Amino acid sequence: MTDTLAIALAQINPTVGDIDGNIECIRAARAEAARSHADLVICGELVVAGYPPEDLVLKAAFQDRIEAGVSVLAGDTADGGPALLVGAPWRDDGKLYNAALLLDGGSIAAVCLKHELPNYGVFDEKRVFAAGPAPGPVSFRGALLGIMICEDMWSPDVTECLDECGAHMLVVLNGSPFEADKPDARLNLAAARTMESGLPLMYINLVGGQDELVFDGASFVLGAGGDLRAQAASWKTQVLLTRWRRDANDSWACDDGAIAKPADGLEAVYRALTTGLHDYVDKNHFPGVLVGLSGGIDSALSAAVAVDALGAERVHCVMMPSPYTSAESLEDAAQAARLLGVRLDTIPIDPAMEAFEGMLREAFVRHPADTTEENIQARARGVTLMALSNKFGSMVLSTGNKSEMSVGYATLYGDMCGGYSVLKDIYKTTVYELSRWRNQHRPEDFPGPAGRVMPERILLKPPSAELKPDQTDQDTLPPYEQLDAILRCLIEEEMALGDIVARGHDAEVVRRVWTMLDRAEYKRRQAPPGVKITSRAFGRDRRYPITNGFTDPA
């Protein structure tokens, strides 16, 4: 028995399915912790597999590889160095569990199974995992560890069980995806668990991007009174060493340690975008990205995020003007490219427009021009970008935002083309806020330039698709401040129309927005993935039928 422990919180960026790579990340964290004489290294939820593994975890071959990898890690601990507490899918008696495994002395010393399985939003763990029994504490060198896995902390029941069974401290392995304002919610819930139990708490999160989800790290330790004792950086891999002492009453407490200030507000959202894009591009082995740079704010912000995520040398911008493209847009796109230091090519789409006009002239005879011709322009641009992607290997970055995708103000196989949509969960009003923020701020670890990254005129001019003369978005849509407020009510809050009107919105406008939102579901199903920022991102967070006869949302 010991009265002191050195425990390392390891924020790791795993890749789903890359079991060997994830094991090497765990080994590297353990080696770093060993140099500081750590007794135990704790990693995040399902770190061996990567999180979330979705249906991949159901493959027997995958489960075999997980068990072989865990056996290797367990063998490492025979060297007398730190023990490991890692998350992994785990088979037991014919069932598959989300587990935390204590590896010590060359073997698997203990297995803890997740009790509370989330089944909402992006989570569907009941689809693939069985729920474990209510857990008891695990003995580690004289300390009783109350081990929980993510959702186990979000209600008091598991904490109460561990406390009643004599746990000395709470240890929470997490794969907690980022949402705006969620870091405060985590801290508040963790503080509630410490206050209820009188036990200190360690919270270990993942970091990095996995498809639509991003993990912000910011692992922390709370004292028994809910006070913050240590916190790792957000959005960075890190091994945070904490030191613990037992007092005469057999209670354990963490010494005051390093406390990193987490990113918040617009910086946190911007970092979520850069992290999601960086890891999607790198983990899928793309050399870089292609951005259709139009001279508008969405493409300018997308290009800035790409440069801050990947570096200017991996971002290729293309301006594709039509006869309706204004001189200001050409100038603004060129200046944005200069500010970012990216390559900008110009490929006019006039020849494609003329070709399609000739091809379809007989079929369209006696039919006046309408949105069909506008969509052809957007699709000509999509074809151009995809051709460049096919030829040179870079991924097309879609530049549409959540406001447009909500109401279908986008062209299938046109501006919706792309492998990833960095602004997919960003409302138009937030696009402006992020653009202004980035023009005024540049965190030191970003590879993009300091100072402005887009011309002021892009922020000031009325947004336009420029598919016909003198066009603006507000020819078709309500003003974005009004539109976004209504969309948040409909999407994030799932409010009835009457309740939205009661907030001061015009009833006719509210119904019109609801109708556009409802009718655009088929487009959203075909949109590329993008970074989840809000509590209800399109996709797994919000699932609506395409064929839908329900027309009374009041």
SS (H, E, C) 37-100: CCCEEECCCCCCCCCCCHHHHHCHHHHHHHHHHHHHHHHHHHHCCCEEEEEEEEEECCEEEEEE
Rounded CA gap, 56 and 464, in Å? 42
DSSP state at residue 167: -
Rounded CA gap, 255 and 257, in Å? 6
* Domains of the chain with bracketed CATH: 4-262 (3.60.110.10), 266-525 (3.40.50.620)
CA atoms within 13 A of residue 156's CA, in its CB half-sphere:
12
CA atoms within 13 A of residue 395's CA, in its CB half-sphere:
24
Nearest to 174 by CA among 382, 6, 407, 12: 12
Rounded CA gap, 207 and 260, in Å? 15
Q: According to the model, what pLDDT value does residue 554 have? A: 66
Q: Is 150 a catalytic residue?
A: yes
Rounded CA gap, 533 and 424, in Å? 9
Rounded CA gap, 259 and 243, in Å? 14
Indicate the SS3 state at residue 122.
Answer: coil
CB 408 within 8 A of CB 516: yes
Q: Is 357 a catalytic residue?
A: no
DSSP string, 239-293: EEEEEEEE-TTS-EEEPP--BPPPP-HHHHHHHHHHHHHHHHHHHTT-S-EEEE-
State how far the alpha carbon of 78 is from the alpha carbons of 74, 106, 186, 401, 520, in Å: 7, 4, 35, 52, 58
User: What letters, b where the CB count within 10 A reaches 16 and e where it falls short, cover 394-422?
Assistant: bbbbbbbbbbbbbbbbbbbebbbbbbbbb
Rounded CA gap, 453 and 135, in Å? 52
The single residue of 25, 43, 112, 150 carrying the catalytic annotation is 150
CB 170 within 8 A of CB 193: yes
DSSP state at residue 150: G
Tokens representing 329 are 């847009």
Rounded CA gap, 168 and 497, in Å? 50
The single residue of 25, 43, 45, 428 carrying the catalytic annotation is 45
Nearest to 208 by CA among 452, 430, 15: 15
First-to-last CA distance in the chain? 64
Rounded CA gap, 464 and 296, in Å? 7
Q: According to the model, what pLDDT value does residue 310 have? A: 98
The single residue of 112, 114, 428, 532 carrying the catalytic annotation is 114
Q: Is 165 a catalytic residue?
A: no
In one-letter notation, the amino acid at residue 221 is V
Tokens representing 212 are 């639509």
Counting as low any pLDDT under 70, the low residues of the chain are 1, 464-468, 470-471, 473, 475, 554
- CA torsion, points 63, 66, 67, 69, in degrees to nearest 10? 160
State how far the alpha carbon of 394 is from the alpha carbons of 208, 259, 316, 355, 385, in Å: 21, 39, 8, 27, 10
pLDDT in tens, 277-319: 999 999 999 999 999 999 999 999 999 999 999 999 999 999 9
Which residues are paired to 40 by β-bridges? Answer: 7, 83
Q: According to the model, what pLDDT value does residue 553 have? A: 73
Cα 529 to its chain centre, rounded Å, is 10
Indicate the SS3 state at residue 550.
Answer: coil
Rounded CA gap, 543 and 554, in Å? 19
Which residues are paired to 316 by β-bridges? Answer: 290, 343
Query: Any idea which residue has 């159901």 for tokens?
Result: 58
Contact residues for 522 (Cβ-Cβ < 8 A; gap 6+): 546
CB 399 within 8 A of CB 424: no
